[in-house]
A and B are shown apart, each in its own frame.
Chain A
Amino acid sequence: MRTLKTAREIPIGALITEAGNSKDYKTGDWRSMKPIWHEEGCVHCLMCWVFCPDVSIKVENGKMVGIDYDHCKGCGICARECPRKEKALEMVKE
């Protein structure tokens, strides 16, 4: 659980004073369904990365390495687009 700031700690008037701050806004707690990645079934085609609307597919050196659950909203687009289907990405109830 993230810690929330107090009224005296936040800028007045709902100003956002730092640029590039959307990573601080954890949208992961909106989720009701959760994608589970099975590395053994994945062919690293990165279709999931292309389609994820929340930049929540983590990629290193051209390979899928996992899911950023802080921001993944559980829309299921990755699992739908995955050519390996349940073998690589499966949606489960949160």
Chain B
Amino acid sequence: MANEQRLAAMTGNEAVAHALRQIDPDVIAAYPITPQTDIVQYYSQFVSDGLVKTEMVTVESEHSAMSATIGASAAGARAMTATSSQGLALMWEMLHIASGYRLPIVMPVVNRALSGPINIHCDHSDTMGALTTGWIQIYAESAQEAYDNAIQAVRIAEDPRVLLPTMVCDDGFITSHGIENVSLLPDEVVKGFVGEYKPSKFLLNISDPVTVGPLVLPDYYTELKFQQAEAMKAAKQVILEVAEEYAKISGRKYGLFEEYKMDDAERVVVVLSSAAGTAKAVVNQLRAKGEKVGLLKPRVLRPFPAEELVAALSGAKAVAVMDRAETFSTQGGQLFTELRAAFYDAPKRPLMRGYVFGLGGRDTTVREIGKVFEDLRGDLERGSVSEKYTHLDVRV
């Protein structure tokens, strides 16, 4: 039975800050950046008010934020940080060090477009670029999901089968600053769920000394990367197990992705995060007219649930994959190309086209997503896609 929860109106950033407060990590080292800023600001308030025991380290840059978090985590602390956009970019070399050292750091990332030109609004160019850094990536549609994912991420990252750092992403301004109803679990329930962090090897354990971060040459580097890849594979099962346990305390169910009205859907849109909410409204409108349309919203991009996505989309006839970031490969967005690759071995492949949309905070409304479903109708009638990948709502 789900617990007594407190329903409150709050922004995504406030919801994430409350998740962090309830987790009460040993160390948070962070630097403020739009639109992540209020997560750090709320948390500073919690520290000042004595609501948490966290050692808060205010650093001079995101490179230092990630470095201090890595140091704290290697020392044996449950350590977290949060960032956006340029901040994530500045962390870059340290992202690989966190994953290479297998430190279970949890980091909320509020998605924002990368400069240049400078832009503070939402797209996914920041975290899409970080897909190869060895971090688990989980995306949220709403403030509620951002809150729920942050709590689950602690258990996923720290699972002995995984031990990988984890980004929990939500959409800048749209989710981070939009006010929604959020159900907060009681503090003690969250504390019980995440439990105490008990690393098996850590620097401050003087009775079992270890070296962290030695030079590794060609004789062992491959084996260590293989270990990371194995851990990422194992994470898929762990994510599902943690979600199942979380459903028991919250009543909210999560998977590797969400299927919305997919049962008999012929035309399907695949899209991450807040745009999925808009797509649901379009699906509802079209369903009311009797059209067989559905939505698939990926939640986990690393590890990439290729087999599961293929199975879920195997009944579809035409699929549109929407990416909120360019790759400049000239072949479409990251999700589009990965999903197409996943279908390479599938016996039955739907028509599939890609869209790059919503860049730099460009509003994507029911009108644009309605057009995507219209394009899919045309493709179905023609029996082929009119354009493999295109930019949605661009003036040319």
Contact = CB atoms under 8 A, between A and B. Distances in A.
Interface string A2-20: 0011110011111111010
Given A10-B224, A12-B102, A17 B210 contact: yes
Given A7-B224, A7-B227, A14 B219 contact: no
A15 B103 contact: no
B223 interface: yes
B210 A7 contact: no
Interface in B176-201: 201
Q: Is the interface of B mostly helix, strand, loop or mixed?
A: loop
A10 B102 CA distance: 13
B129 interface: no
Interface string B219-262: 11001101100110000000000000000000000000000000
A22 to B, nearest CB: 10
23 contacts: A5-B223, A7-B223, A10-B223, A10-B224, A10-B227, A12-B102, A12-B224, A13-B100, A13-B103, A13-B163, A14-B213, A14-B216, A14-B220, A14-B224, A15-B101, A15-B201, A15-B210, A15-B212, A16-B210, A16-B214, A17-B208, A17-B210, A19-B209
Interface of A: 4-7, 10-17, 19
Contacts of B224: 7, 10, 12-14
B220 A13 contact: no
Q: Could you say which interface size class chain B belongs to?
A: 20 to 34
B214 A13 contact: no
Interface of B: 100-103, 163, 201, 208-214, 216, 219-220, 223-224, 226-227, 230-231
B259 to A, nearest CB: 34
Nearest to B231: A12
A4 B224 CA distance: 13
Contacts, number: 48
A65 to B, nearest CB: 30
B97 to A, nearest CB: 10
Given A12-B163, A15-B212, A7 B201 contact: no
Residue from A11, A13, A15 whose CB has the most chain B CB atoms within 10 Å: A13
Given A7-B227, A10-B224, A16 B211 contact: yes
B210 A14 contact: no
A17 B207 CA distance: 12
Given A12-B102, A13-B163, A4 B211 contact: no
A5 to B, nearest CB: 8
A14 B227 CA distance: 10
B226 A7 contact: yes
Contact of A11 (B201, B219, B226): B201
